[in-house]
Amino acid sequence: MAVFLGLPLVIFLLFVVWPVLQALYYSMTDWSGFSASMNFTGLDNYRKLAQDDIFLHAVRNNIELAIVVPLVTIVAALAIAIVVTVGGPSNGTIRGIRGAGAYRVVSFFPYAVPAIVIGLIWAQVYDPAAGLLNGVLTKSGLSGFKDFAWLGEVKTAMPASMFVMIWASIGFYTVLFVAAIKGIPAEIYESARLDGAGRFRTSWSITVPLIRDNVQTAYIYIGILALDAFVYMQAMNSGGGPNNTTLTMSQYLLTTAFKKGQFGYATAMGVTLAVITLAFAVLVFLINYLTGGRDERRVRR
Partner 1 sequence: MSTAVTERALPAETRQRRSSNAGDTAVEVTSHVLLILWSVIVIVPFLWVLLSSFKTTREILGSPFSLPAHWKFDNYVNAWTDAGIGRFFFNTVIVVGASLFLVMLLGAMCAYVLARFEFPGRRLIYNSMLAGLTFPIFLVIVPLFFVLKNIGLINTLPGLILTYVAFALPFTVFFLHAFFRSLPQDVYEAATIDGASEWRAFFSIMLPMAGPGMASVAIFNFLGLWNQFLLPVALNTNQDNYVLTQGMASFASQAGYSVDFGALFAAVVMTVLPVLVVYLIFQRRLSGSVARGTFR
Rounded to the nearest 10 degrees, how much is the dihedral formed by the CA atoms of 185, 94, 200, 184?
Answer: 10
Site for partner 1 in 33-72 (CB under 8 A): 33
Residues 77-96 interacting with partner 1 (rule: CB under 8 A) = 80, 83-96
CB of 49 to partner 1, least distance (A): 14
| DSSP per-residue string spanning 123-147 | HHHT-TTT-HHHHHHHHTT-GGGTT
Is position 75 an interface residue for partner 1 (rule: CB under 8 A)?
no
Write the burial class of residue 121 (CB in 10 Å: 0-12 exposed, 13-18 middle, 19+ buried): middle
Q: Say how many residues touch partner 1, by CB under 8 A.
A: 113
Please say which residue, 142 or 179, places its beta carbon nearer to partner 1.
179
Estimate the crossing angle of helix 100-108 against helix 154-182, to 10 degrees.
Answer: 130
- Decide: is 185 part of the binding site for partner 1 (CB under 8 A): yes
Distance CA 243, CA 232 (A): 18
Which residue from 180, 192, 210, 226 is in contact with partner 1, where contact means CB under 8 A?
180
Nearest to partner 1 of 156, 277 (CB atom): 277
What is the closest distance, in whole angstroms, from the C-beta atom of residue 98 to partner 1 in the complex?
Answer: 6
104 binds partner 1 (CB under 8 A): yes
Binding letters toward partner 1, positions 252-281, x by CB under 8 A:
-xx--xx----x--xx-xxx-xx--xx--x
* Cα angle 200, 201, 202; round to 5: 90
